[in-house]
Homo-oligomer: A and B are copies of this chain.
Amino acid sequence: MGMVGGGRGAFIGGVHRMAAALDGQIELVCGAFSSNAERSKLSGADLFLPPERVYGSYAEMIETEKKLPEDVRMDFISIVTPNHVHFGPAKMALENGFHVVSDKPLCFDLEEAKELERLVKETGLIFALTHNYTGYPMVKQARAMVRNGDIGEVRKVVVEYPQGWLATKLEDSDQKQAAWRTDPKRSGIAGAMGDIGTHAENLAEYITGLQITELCADISTFVDGRLLDDDGNVLLHFDNGAKGILHASQISVGEENDLNIRVYGTKGGLQWFQQEPNTLIVKWMDKPTEIMRTGVGNLYPAAQAHTRIPAGHPEGYLEAFGNIYRNFAKCVQARLAGETPEPIYQDFPTVSDGVRGMEFIYKVIESGKSNQKWVKF
């Protein structure tokens, strides 16, 4: 693995490295950790990389690594930069034969996203987008339960992603994470809806297997002087007739990272909270609610295959993130070995999920400005 971004002071780069290391399937061999060559070197040294594999730019990394012997050079790149620097390295990597893992959202704008999708199809390379919340075992259990009809036909979906960290104008301090997320030049057309709204959309569609067909959005910027949205409330229609609500917020004071979802079908209901991820609450008609737990009882294979340790030993965010890397790595290994990966490993968000996420951002922002009730998706 060669990393683009994620040098000193970054948040998500370290997450990617820990997630990739967890299962002993991936080795960090090189990186372009910063557009500042000096900072990139220092970051590489922190990570015990040999100086010659630490590059000053992703372009230098891709060009140089390409020339190394096959058993030495990186097999794929991992892109952990702000949104506006996703497209460049992804495109170049694909054009030079490297598989790609990229942080979400896929790109800065929809045009870039579609271009990447085209390139992935053309090259046949493997592309994983780290919509990491779908990596949790109990999310996979929920998806399997819906697919198997355990809760009947889905009628109502409520997905929420409240955070409170941007309830004040944090971007005016030197908080790097706040700064780029609220900057249209680096984030794109959306703030909260792009940063976390897309996670909510992805989670809802992943679990239900349904697609949003139209939406009605109320998009707000509560903090004076902020340039992008920091809150959004959205009504949803799904392709099977189900109705839904999606709301995401970065001004919900006191909320940490409380992504959660409820899915109600004709026979039962499901409830999952990201902050207590090893629990899936299952509700039934006229029967006790059940607390399904990672590792307990007869869960579906998809849940079991993404759990590492026995019941009662909580797995968390890094483990879910690691599931995407593990699955991606297994698929890359299979490709290198000329084999077909096991179906259980073919379960990670793709470039097409990324395009869908970008479209969601566009539709939500369009709806937020519209006086018309429904915007088709």
Question: Contact string, A261-287, partner B, CB cutoff 8 A, digits 1/0?
Answer: 010111111000011111000111111
* B314 and A317 form a contact (CB under 8 A): yes
Q: Taking the nearest CB of chain B, how far is it from the CB of A338, in angstroms?
A: 19
Residue contact B285 to A318, C-beta cutoff 8 Å:
no
Indicate if the CB atoms of B256 and A243 lie closer than 8 Å.
no
Closest to A258 in B: B312
Q: Which residues of B contact A237 (CB under 8 A)?
A: 218
Closest to A367 in B: B373
Given A269-B253, A312-B275, A314-B314, check contact A167 B285 (CB 8 Å).
Answer: yes
Q: Which residues in B have their C-beta under 8 angstroms from that of A245?
A: 233, 245, 247
Task: Give bound CA distance, A324 to B340, whole Å.
Answer: 39
Contacts of A275 in B (CB 8 A): 278, 312, 314
**Chain A window 84-98, contacts with chain B (Cβ cutoff 8 Å), 1 for yes, 0 for no:** 000000000000000
Chain B, residue nearest A291 (CB)? B289
Contact (A257, B14) CB under 8 Å given A222-B155, A296-B286, A372-B373: no
Q: In this assembly, does A249 line the interface, its C-beta being within 8 Å of a C-beta of chain B? A: yes
Contact of A155 among B251, B267, B274 (CB under 8 A): B251
**Interface status of A117 (Cβ within 8 A of chain B):** no
Chain A residues within 8 Å of chain B by Cβ, number: 87
5 additional A-B residue pairs with CB within 8 Å, beyond A18-B23, A290-B291: A164-B269, A289-B291, A290-B290, A309-B318, A371-B374
A1-59, CB < 8 A from B = 11, 14-15, 17-18, 21-24, 28, 47-48
User: Which B residue sits closest to A22, measured CB to CB?
Assistant: B18
Query: Which of B22, B163, B254, B284 interacts with A253 by CB under 8 Å?
Result: B284
Chain A at the B interface: SS class: loop
When the two chains form their complex, are residues B243 and A233 in contact, meaning their CB atoms are under 8 A apart? yes
A284 to B255, alpha carbons, bound, how many Å? 9
Report chain B residues within 8 Å CB of A316: 313-316, 318-319
Q: Does A168 contact B (CB under 8 A)?
A: yes
A209-249: which have CB < 8 Å to B? 216, 218, 220, 222, 231, 233, 235, 237, 243-245, 247, 249
Q: Are A283 and B164 in contact (CB under 8 A)?
A: yes
A residues with CB within 8 A of B: 11, 14-15, 17-18, 21-24, 28, 47-48, 151, 155-156, 158, 160, 163-164, 167-168, 216, 218, 220, 222, 231, 233, 235, 237, 243-245, 247, 249, 251-258, 262, 264-269, 274-278, 282-293, 295-298, 308-319, 370-374
| CA gap between A80 and B41 in the complex, in Å | 37
Give the interface centre of A21, A23, A245 by most chain B CB atoms within 10 Å. Answer: A245
Kindly list the 3 A-B residue pairs having the minimum CB-CB distance in the complex, ordered from nearest.
A254-B283, A257-B312, A256-B312
Bound form: Cα–Cα A287–B298 in Å: 7
- Check B318 against A315 for contact (C-beta < 8 Å): yes
Q: Which residues in B have their C-beta under 8 angstroms from that of A290?
A: 288-291
